[in-house]
Each structure stands twice: as C-alpha cells, then as structure tokens.
Amino acid sequence: MFAVFEKSIAKAPEELHLSSVVGRPALKSRGEIADLYRSWRPESVLYSLSNGNFMALSNEVGTPLSSPRSIVVMDDIFCLFSGALDNTCDLRRFYGLPRLATEAMIIVEAYKVLRDRAPYPPDQVVKSLDGKFAFVLFDSRASVVFLARDSDGFVPLHWGTAADGSLICSDDPKLFSAVCGDCYTPFPPGFHFCCFAGCMFISGNGLISYDHPLHKIKSMTREDDAGNINAVIFQVDLYTRLPSIPRTGSAANWASAAAVMADEEL
C-alpha cells in the first residue's frame, strides 16, 4: 500500500523532516510521485484525491511474509489495510456490521464512531483491535488522515516526507526508496519498559501511543557512516507525561460543554 498527503492535511512530526535532508531524489510534487508509483506498479488500484493526494494498493507479493492487503471506500472515507484482525467477529457485532464485513470496513466504521459520537478517546478504538495490522485511512470530507500499526510492529509500515513536505506512507521499502532514497523510517511502535508500544497518528492530534496515551513520544536520530541523519526512531518517553488525552468529535464537544458549565457554577 502507498499513500501521499499534502502537508496541510497531514502535518508530520517535525523530527521526521530531519531524515529528509540528505539523499532525497529530485521529486517535489505529489503528481511526480504518483507517476513514479504507476510506473513501478501499473497493476495497482490508485485513487486520485483532491490537490494531488493519492492512495494506492498493489497485491503483488514481495516476500513470503507479505501480509494480505485490502482497500475500501465508504462514505467518502478511504482505507488501506494490511494484515489481519483476530477478533473480527466481536468487532462486527460491536459496530453492527454484517458478517462479511472486512477488516478495512471495520476500521472505517470504528473511525466513524470515533468521529461522530464516541464517548472515549481514540486510543481506546485502536487498542480494541486484536491482531497484526497496519492501516492508512483518509476522511476526504473532514480532511483527516488516520494511521496506526500493531504493538509488535509485525506488519511493515514506513513513513517519511517528500521534498514539498508531503507525508508519504507505505509498506513497501523498495517503493519508498524510489521516492525518498534512504530517507524514511518505520512507523512506530515505540519502545517502552523493554517492550513495544503501538502508535497511531491522527491529523490535528499528531503521534500518540495507544498503549500508553499519557506518555509523550520522543525521537532519536540515526546517522549513517558519514554522520548524516538518515532516519528518526520514535519511542515512548517513560519520564514525560501528557496533561490529557486528545479527544475528537462529540467527546470534545462534551468536554467543552462540561468546562463551560463548571465555569458558570463558579
């Protein structure tokens, strides 16, 4: 799977740009990146989105460990999914989906519930996913990008930035190398307490650990033999806690209303 989003939609962590200083090809526009992808994977399904953004899926198997991939479009929401969920039956019942609903459809419905009426923060939504997975979701109406990866990092997912600051996501490092050279890094799970912690990224909220949502995620740079930064590794910071868990949708509205009521009572 492969996706490119403009900087105004998916503002990547500032640290991610550090790995894009050296060795990047001269590709600058999302259109150029899309053309290169088509030349590499002409059999792919490619969705051209607004302003040159795009999402694409190729089912070409690169290695014996390649995970199953799927794509779904529902209610102007695009979702690329790689891997498998072990609790699909439970999730279908929870979200009221039919028996044949795929993992990608479950992710879309979970996002819609989170966006529209969820009474809990987004980390709870991703934490309920049991399995080995990575997904990239784009809500074209709300211009929101949502991506996550399982806690063990079993399913590959890489991210980086193009020359114009666009966010690039893919599970194929060969494709990534064609666009960014060596300037990309695995999407975390971060490292916490001698174990891995799953992470997610949401437009407006940034990078969050859904296993440890109250802890900040910090970055560590990796240098090549010449001393140039060629990757940034993100990990959970045990010693830094966040003041609160970011909320979205009705949950955020409810929190705002509660704060107003508290002020009025005072």
Choice among 118-122, 133-137, 164-168, 243-247 with the minimum mean pLDDT: 243-247
Closest residue by Cα to residue 135 from 210, 184, 81, 214: 81
Is the distance from CB of 148 to CB of 85 less than 8 angstroms? no
Q: What percent of the chain has pLDDT over 70?
A: 69
pTM of the model: 0.79
Which positions ≥6 away from 266 have C-beta within 8 Å? none
Specify the pLDDT at position 238.
63
232: enclosing H helix or E strand: strand 229-241
Q: What is the rounded distance in angstroms from the CA atom of residue 212 to the CA atom of residue 143?
A: 26
pLDDT digits (tens, 9 = 90+) for 123-151: 778 888 999 999 999 999 999 999 999 88
| Residue, of 203 and 216, whose pLDDT is higher | 203
Tell me the per-residue pLDDT of 52-96, one tens digit each, with 9 for 90 and over. 899 998 866 554 445 788 899 998 999 999 999 999 999 999 999
Sheet of 54-57: strand order equals 45-48, 54-57, 2-5, 167-170, 158-161, 185-186
pLDDT above 50 for 259? no
Q: Which amino acid is at 118?
A: A
Q: Residue 130: CB partners within 8 Å, gap ≥ 6? A: 85, 86, 87
Q: Using the 8-state DSSP alphabet, how is residue 187 labeled?
A: P
Q: How many CB atoms sit inside 10 A of residue 114's CB? A: 22
Strand 229-241, strand 215-223: pairing: antiparallel
**What average pLDDT score do residues 243-252 get?**
52
pLDDT tens-digit map of 16-54: 766 554 455 555 678 888 888 888 888 888 888 888 899
